Every structure is written in structure tokens, then in C-alpha cells.
Chain A
Amino acid sequence: MRTRPLAKVAALGVVGALALTGCGSSNNSSKGGLSSGGGGNATSYTIAFEGPLSGDNAQLGINEYNGAQLAIAEANKDSSLGFKVKLSKSDDQGDPAKAPAAAASIIQDDTVMGVVGPSFSGATKAVAAKFGAAGISIVNPSASAGDIQTLGFKTWHRIFPNDNAEGPAGADWIAKHAKKVFVINDLSAYGAGVSASVASQLKKDGDTVITQGVDAKTTDYGPISQQVVNSGAKAVWYGGYDAQAALFAKALAAAGFKGIRISGNGVKSSVFTTGAGAAGHGWYFTCGCQDATVAPSAKSFTAAYTAMFNTPPSTYSPEAYDATNILIQAIKAAKAAGSVTRSTVNDQVNKTDYTGITGQISFGTDGDLPPGKGTVNLFIDQGGNIKSLGDITQAK
């Protein structure tokens, strides 16, 4: 009697496996036919976006997805391109645990020639190797952790200065204003990384640094804010994301902290400004990104974006727009060279020399924007609006 249920389970398993492989192969043949039969002359290719489209950090993903959509819409209006581009989306909620499933659905689609994303560093680290194995080129518009380029991902690229550039630049600016700094991170890949680079540069600049971590699922920042006040620090750095920073900003204001409050690119968003309200006024942000509403190179982009989405472009919209265009150009170049496959597209991405709205972009052998390229800008929450203060090395 005991073996019977087991046998049933086994039988079910076999049937299930058969069904799955059946599905898989039929899928492959139909889609495979489309892409391989098309070879160099298919008329439509897909670019996939992976990022948070729901959850606490969805605003950043939506900013980027909109930027990508705009680039795709413009490309499809251009008849000289010779092919159409489609945009598919895959939601990873910015969560490294959910990223593999999001990536798998992209990889399974044989028409996908390149990926814009994943938006977050943790998610990128979780899936970049999978995309690499599938030969799909990744162009990263916002995952800023300073160690991704060292991990040997074969098809990974990033178009903006990473936290190793952003953190120290921010630290140098803080050191001009404060000698004792409280550095807090949210224990995420991005937050811990950027905070570590801020802390080490501050120490080099001769500042006293106190570091603490606060789990990103915290809502009550009362105790840590109290600690910041007690420490007598004149400035506080928060390494983490917008939704949490808003809660921290409120608690910090409640605790009566009067010093400089500064944070990185992960916080610079409308989620922070609306969430924190008055408590967020006067917060500074560093970002290796452009303010599309003021950058002269982005005028037409800003106008088109605003017309399409009824809202001005926000953090990382311009970067995602550029990243998408880089992939479109790579597909175009691959087509001109004779064959559009995932690997030829990736070869073309490697050779990128593209002047986009965020600056001049090329990739080093590690896939990163070469050091020294790109500008880190300083921003401020001014009465609920994020204003650019320009290049951080020049800022007061």
C-alpha cells in the first residue's frame, strides 16, 4: 500500500516532464523558425526591459520603461532603419530573488536581441551570468554598484559612472561641509556598496565616520535617527532606495536633526519627495545621471517624453532611452554586416561609440563606461522638486 502513492507521484512526474518537454520543443520550433529562418533579414526584433514595475521601487522601473518606450517609438517611425523593434517587459520588482524568473522569460523569447536593465544592482548580479550564457547583450541604465564590472559577465554593459565614481565624489563634497559624518546603508547590494565607498573616501579626507546598517524592511527609523542626533554628526549619508529614505527622512526630522542630509542615485525620485514631504526638503542627492529637464542635449527628448507620458522624464529615463538606442543601433549595424543574432548584436554593442543625451558612451573591455568618463551631478530636493546643482566637483 505504501508504494502505491509513490508510484502515482512518479507517474505524474513523468507525465508532467513529458508535457513540459513537449511544450518546450513545440515552442522552440515555432519561435526558432521565426528567428533562424529570418536570419539576417527578419523584419522585427525585440528588446526586453527588466526592472521593477511593481513593488516599493516601481517608480524607477517605470521611469526607465517609459524612456525605452520612447526610443522604440522613435525608431519605428524611422523608415530608413529597415526593421521594426518591439519592446517586451519583465517585472523583477528590483528583487534579486525574483530576477531569475524575470530573466528566464526574456531568455525564452528567441526574438529578444538585447536587454535594457536590470534596473538594480542586486538583480543584475543575480541574472547577468544567465544572460551571458544565452548570449544576450545587457545594457544597464541604472545598476550602479561599483563591483559589477569585476564579476566577469560576458555580455554586460553600463552607460553611466558607477558608485565607485559617485560615492567618492559625494564624499569629497560632504567633507567640504562636515567633519563628522554618519553613514547609513540599507544592507542591499547597492546601498552597502555605495556607502562603503563614501565612508572610505570620507576617511581619506580626514573625516570622522560612524557607520551603521538598517534593514530595508524597517518602517520605524526612530531609534537610528535618535542615534544620528546623539552622535553629534554634522552630516548624514543614506545609501539605499527612495521609499525607505522617505521614512528615514521623516524620522530624522522628528528627532530634530539639523545637519546635511545626502543620499545617492537610488533615492533621487518622486517617491522620495512625495513620501518624505516637508521632511525631505533640503536633502541632497548625488547621481551619475543627467537632469533631462535642464541638460541642453536632452531638450527634444524631454519634450517628446512629456508629450507621450504626460509627465516630465525622471531619474534614469534619459539613461534608459540611451541604452535602448544603443541596442537599436547595434541591431542596425549587425543587420548591415549581414546577420542579426544575439551574438552579432552583442559584438556590435561592444564596439559602441554613441553620443546620446546623457553624454558620449563607449564600453571598456569589462563592459563598464571607462573611468573618468561621465559626470557626477549634485541634486537637491527644493520644496518637493528635484533641482540640479550641476557637477558635484564644482558645487558649493
Chain B
Amino acid sequence: MTDFLNFLIAGLTRGSIYALIALGYTLVYGVLQLINFAHSEVFMSGAFGSLIIVQSVIGRGVHHLPWYGVTGVLLLGLTSGALIGAIVAWGLERVAYRPLRKRGAPKLAFLISAIGMSFFLSQLAGKLFNRFSDNNFPTYYNVNKHLFDIRGVHISLIQTIMIVSAVVMMLFLDTLVTHTKLGKSIRGVAEDAQTAALMGINIDKTISRTFIIGGALGGAAGFLFGSAFTVYNTMGFIPGVKAFAAAVLGGIGNIRGAMLGGLLLGVVESLVPTAPWVGGHTWIGTQWTDVVAFVVLVLVLMFRPTGILGERLGRAA
């Protein structure tokens, strides 16, 4: 049971990152009905942006900060990651999507331009920084410190930070979409863009803002991911693919679906290959992690082709 809970916590940590990235896919899909394949690079940009800003504020290496200093740096990292992510996502929409949309290009063209932007951004980051995966955030708190440890069940500081910030951001987004005017316009465009325009909603502005919101979440996820692991130019690829799968799992275009899908995928990846959680013995083994994740995706889609909570941003939010 102890081991089970530890694996569950590891899975929730992984899942909360997937969920934050998945929201970016799902929001854009909701308003444009297309997959923003460059979103993984928004995530990467957020990580690099926050890394540079945090390093320029407190420097590299090891620091001993009081608790309010640590909180301050964490907030700085989160907001700078979100800001850079939002800027990059906004830029993406202007450069790679809007011109195509104005000319009424086919859906396939959007896909190709997104993939092109994805390659461009990740190679640009490789060129600007380096191509090694050794860009670490400075150490300003003991990441490995166990926040609590009850009879062997433990959760570390970094895990807590990841899960809590993800949950807070998701609650914030949920409120924003369900209760604000901006949320209403996003839902309106998602449900029927032309009718929404007739009702006086500025479609271009709404789409732009949707990218910004998705980008901010992705960028903040980049900071969290970078703090826990490391920052490098191709870091977005695997989390991006997994988060896309998570968005489909929960129901693409559905905000709560993306959150659920992300958390579920993380937990499945952590728990299933390591079962039965006793000693080192496993039935499946961690080398099958990706297989397990995608088998679950296929099984869910077989019985619920639109994902667990179903499609469409307009309806379910």
C-alpha cells in the first residue's frame, strides 16, 4: 500500500504537467478545430524563458534562501514562464495561423505550418543555447526535501509544487472559461464562430486570447518541468505527444477532459507498468510504459470515440 501511494504521487506529478500542456491543445482545438503541433515548443520556450530570467535574478549555482525568497523565485519562474509562453503562442498565431486563416487555407496547411514552426523553434533554441540537456535551474531550495513522510509514504517539495500549481492554474482556467466574459466569447467561438461574430464577438481577438491563455499554461508547465528535470531544446517533444494523447483521452476540445486525461495518463504510466507494487517485482515492467499509455488510449477510444468526457469546448465547460 505504501509503495502504491508513492507511485500514485509520482503519477499525479507527471500527470499534472501533461494536464497543463493538454489544456493548450484542447483550447486551440476548441476554437479552431485544429491541433497546434507547435504547442510543445511553447512549453520549451516557457522553460528556457523562465530559466534565463531566474538565472539573471539569482544567478547560477547553489543558493540558500529564506522561505519567502524561495516562494518569490517560484512565483517569478511561474509568471516569467507563463509570460514567455504566452508571447510565443501569440506570435505563433500571428505568424503561422492567422495568414492561413485569412486566405482560407485547407486544414492540412495549418498542420504543416505548425510542424514547421515546431522544428524552427526547437532548432532555434538549440542554436541560441546549446544542444545538451544540461541547462539546470539554480538550486535555491532542497528539491528532494520530503514535505511529509507518513510511514514511508512521502511527497517531496518539488512534487507538491508541481501538483499544487497545476491544480491552482486549472481551477483558475475553469473559472475563467465558465464565469467571465472572455470565457463566454471563447465558448461562443468554439460552439459556432460565425454566429458568435454576428453576436458581436471579435473572432480574431478571441482566437488570439485563446492562444495566449493556452501558451501561458504551457509556459508555466515548462518552468515546473524544467525545475524538476532539466531544460533542453527538444524537451517539448515527448511531453507534447503525451499531452496531445491526454487531450484526446479526455475528449479533445473539452477543458475538464484535458485535465482529467492528463492526470489519468500520468497515473496510468506510473502505476500500470510497476504493478503489483511489491519490492522490485513487476508484471509488465517500465520498458512498456509508452505501450501501456497508448493501449489505454486505444481502449478508451474504442468504447468512447470522443474521449472520456466527449468533444467540444462549448458544450462541456
Contact = CB atoms under 8 A, between A and B. Distances in A.
Interface string B251-280: 000000000000000000110011001111
B270 A219 contact: no
Contacts of A224: 286
A254 B144 contact: yes
B36 to A, nearest CB: 21
A56 interface: yes
Interface residues of B, number: 46
Contact of B132 (A56, A219, A222, A254): A56
Interface in A16-66: 54-56, 58-59
Contacts of B133: 56, 243, 246-247, 271, 275
B126 A275 contact: no
Contact of A277 (B131, B139, B146, B287): B139
Nearest to A186: B287
Contact of A227 (B225, B230, B286): B286
Contacts of A278: 62, 139
B279 A231 contact: yes
Interface string B121-138: 000001000011110100
Nearest to B289: A215
Nearest to A219: B229
B54 interface: no
A246 B132 CA distance: 11
Contacts of A275: 132-134, 136, 230
Nearest to B277: A230
Main secondary structure of the interface of B (DSSP, over half): mixed
A274 B134 contact: yes
A64 to B, nearest CB: 16
Interface stretch (B4-12, B73-81, B168-176, B201-209): B4-12
Contacts of A55: 131
A187 interface: yes
B134 A246 contact: yes
A20 B289 CA distance: 45
Given A56-B131, A222-B270, A224-B286, A231 B238 contact: no
B117 interface: no
Nearest to B158: A254
Given A55-B131, A275-B133, A254 B143 contact: yes
A274 B232 CA distance: 13
Interface in B102-119: none
A25 to B, nearest CB: 34
B183 interface: no
Contact of B14 (A213, A217, A222, A253): A222
B134 A223 contact: no
B134 A217 contact: no
Q: Please tell me the size bucket of the interface on A.
A: 35 or more
Contacts of B228: 220
Given A254-B158, A256-B144, A227 B282 contact: yes
Main secondary structure of the interface of A (DSSP, over half): helix
B30 interface: no
Contact of B273 (A219, A223, A254, A256): A223
Contacts of B270: 222-223
B20 to A, nearest CB: 14
Nearest to A185: B287
Candidate in B154, B158, B277, B289 with the most chain A CB atoms within 10 angstroms = B289
Interface string A65-106: 000000000000000000000000000000000000000000
Contacts of B212: none
A333 interface: no
B13 interface: yes
A60 to B, nearest CB: 11
A262 interface: no
A141 B26 CA distance: 48
B191 interface: no
A13 to B, nearest CB: 23
A187 B289 CA distance: 13
B239 interface: yes
B270 to A, nearest CB: 5
9 contacts: A58-B131, A182-B280, A214-B289, A220-B228, A228-B280, A247-B230, A250-B229, A253-B144, A277-B136
Given A223-B269, A246-B134, 15 more contacts: A56-B131, A56-B133, A213-B287, A217-B238, A219-B229, A220-B10, A220-B13, A223-B14, A226-B6, A231-B279, A232-B280, A247-B133, A256-B144, A256-B146, A274-B136
Interface of A: 54-56, 58-59, 182, 187, 210, 212-215, 217-220, 222-224, 226-228, 230-233, 243, 246-247, 250, 253-254, 256, 271, 274-275, 277-278
